[in-house]
Amino acid sequence: MSNEYPDLIRLCIGGERRTGGDGQTLPVENPATGEVIGRVAAATAGDTEAAAQSSARGFREWSATPAFRRYGLMRDAARLLRERAETVARLITLEQGKPLREARAEVALASDLIEWFAEEARRLYGRVIPSRQEGVTQTVMPHPVGPTAAFTPWNFPINQAVRKVSAALAAGCSIVLKGPEETPASCAELVQAFHDAGVPVGVVNLLYGNPADISSALIAHPAIRKISFTGSTAVGKHLASLAGRHMKRATMELGGHSPVIVTRDADVAAVIELIAAAKFRNAGQVCVSPTRFIVHEDIAADFTEAFVAKARALTLGSGLDEATGMGPLVNEKRRAAVRSIVADALDRGARLASGGAPVDGPGYFFEPTVLVDVPVSARIMNEEPFGPVAPIVTFAEIEEAVAETNRLDYGLAAYAFARDPQDLARLRSGVEAGMLTINHLGLSHPELPFGGIKDSGIGSEGGEEALEAYTYPRLVTERAIA
């Protein structure tokens, strides 16, 4: 086992770091080598029950804690995470595979997110509504909705979790976080930063184990009042239906299939510089990854050539090596899925411009891949590839590009590069997506709403909208009596 990586990552229930009730553990792999580097404790039903009860106790204390104190403790957690950034980044790279510079950026953004939500805790204002009757005062205050159950995936082991933990804590909610079993050590470090900062026992609880067992128990649990999930659309729909059955609030940050529209007058070299890096970031395992490239027919050949050059220039390797441009996929399951979606496109007539195959040797590497002439019926034009594959299709009129953009049931991020004022106006008004970024990339700052529409989810995980999801408006109307 790597001596940089903990032998055993524990659960955290009521402030106590412990193994699961029956001692079961799951292996954690380094995706760059395929080796088991540690193990993570798996919760039993009893552990899950204990975590829910702990969050109920934590909620009583935290929701009564003045906002200014919550702000101070959260800022301390952000500071601790910054101080530990290099250690946490190396854990992310070891267990998830992304290059160290991407892992460092993830930790920096996580600290930034905690700080921003801490500040927002001080600005959760209510309002006074003028009354129709003399002597009556009507106030509405945002109240924390209650203990939250959150489920987060492996692609951003701390950033998917920190958006939920920070927004919940800023609003005065406690949380039971079911972290990613594939990448547990960095997520445990995140939770540790909150504990070390002095956030009271029971406010942040951490479980790992069987996701379906834990989610069905927590969503049904009477103590839990709010659900938040990041992951695939299929699982999200299942959890949203469970939440509905138990009348629990739910935020769902699900899959995407982000279109990239590049119009005739776009600066191809400048676009490629930005968008190829974004495509191959985290080996394409990003919910807002640029996915299908809808390029004007007059520039498609230049665009493809430049994209292929970028793909071929990428150095694949261990994320710990500073020279690495792209790391492995997270596991063999993901690599097999990417292989199958590329094979399907080729079977249906797509042409391989670059890459297209798994890399021989240890680890779960897959070549950066560019496909052209991809028929709209190919799976990759309809399903989230979640891998380093870029399908390029062409259009002639802007309306065709907008129609292709809106064809799918996904609606998370969309990207466009254009200059013509009429094209720009049509893109701004016509693209159906939760987030549209034009002529640059800039989606994930803490102060911006982050979320999708249609099958990409419900609610937002950034900006003031993220806090609203953890509060309810509590009306008090009172008549003064003599």
* Shortest distance (Å) from residue 234 CB to ligand NAD: 6
* Shortest distance (Å) from residue 162 CB to ligand NAD: 13
Among the listed residues 333, 351, 419, 440, the single contact to ligand NAD using CB under 6 A: 333
Burial 48-63, CB ≥16 within 10 A → b, else e: bbbbbbbbbbbbeebb
Please check whether residue 319 is in contact with residue 334, taking contact to mean a CB–CB distance below 8 angstroms. Answer: no
Q: Which is nearer to ligand NAD, 173 or 227 (CB)?
A: 227
- Catalytic choice (12, 173, 187, 287): 287
Residues 419-478 that bind ligand NAD (CB under 6 A): none
Q: Which is nearer to ligand NAD, 279 or 334 (CB)?
A: 334
Q: Which is nearer to ligand NAD, 214 or 306 (CB)?
A: 214
* Shortest distance (Å) from residue 343 CB to ligand NAD: 16
Give the x/- contact pattern for ligand NAD in 251-280, rule: CB under 6 A: --xxx-------------------------
Give the x/- contact pattern for ligand NAD in 286-325, rule: CB under 6 A: -x--------------------------------------
Among the listed residues 97, 144, 153, 363, the single contact to ligand NAD using CB under 6 A: 153
* Shortest distance (Å) from residue 332 CB to ligand NAD: 11
Among the listed residues 151, 194, 280, 307, the single contact to ligand NAD using CB under 6 A: 151
* Shortest distance (Å) from residue 5 CB to ligand NAD: 20
* Shortest distance (Å) from residue 268 CB to ligand NAD: 29
Give the x/- contact pattern for ligand NAD in 181-220, rule: CB under 6 A: ------------------------------xx--x-----
Among the listed residues 30, 44, 148, 155, the single contact to ligand NAD using CB under 6 A: 155
How many CB atoms are closer than 10 A to CB 175? 30
Q: Which is nearer to ligand NAD, 153 or 317 (CB)?
A: 153
Q: Which is nearer to ligand NAD, 215 or 394 (CB)?
A: 215
Burial 203-227, CB ≥16 within 10 A → b, else e: bbbbbbbbbeebbebbbebebbbbb
Q: Which is nearer to ligand NAD, 231 or 355 (CB)?
A: 231
By rule CB under 6 A, what count of residues binds ligand NAD? 21
399 is catalytic: no
* Shortest distance (Å) from residue 254 CB to ligand NAD: 6
Q: Which is nearer to ligand NAD, 73 or 224 (CB)?
A: 224
Among the listed residues 180, 209, 363, 388, the single contact to ligand NAD using CB under 6 A: 180
Q: Which is nearer to ligand NAD, 1 or 212 (CB)?
A: 212
Please check whether residue 260 is in contact with residue 416, taking contact to mean a CB–CB distance below 8 angstroms. Answer: yes
Please check whether residue 60 is in contact with residue 357, taking contact to mean a CB–CB distance below 8 angstroms. Answer: no
* Shortest distance (Å) from residue 327 CB to ligand NAD: 16
Q: Which is nearer to ligand NAD, 235 or 381 (CB)?
A: 235
253 is catalytic: yes
- Catalytic choice (253, 367, 384, 461): 253
Cα–Cα distance for residue pair 191/206, rounded to 1 Å? 7
Give the x/- contact pattern for ligand NAD in 359-398, rule: CB under 6 A: -------------------------x-x------------
Give the x/- contact pattern for ligand NAD in 221-250, rule: CB under 6 A: ---------xxx--x---x-----------
Q: Specify the pairing of strand 457-458 against strand 249-253.
A: antiparallel
Residue 445, amino acid: H
Rounded (10°) angle between helices 211-220 and 45-63: 50
* Shortest distance (Å) from residue 178 CB to ligand NAD: 7
Quote the tokens at residue 260: 């990239």
Residue with tokens 């104190």: 69
Q: Which residues are catalytic?
A: 253, 287
**Residues at the interface with ligand NAD (CB under 6 A):** 151, 153-155, 180, 211-212, 215, 230-232, 235, 239, 253-255, 287, 333-334, 384, 386
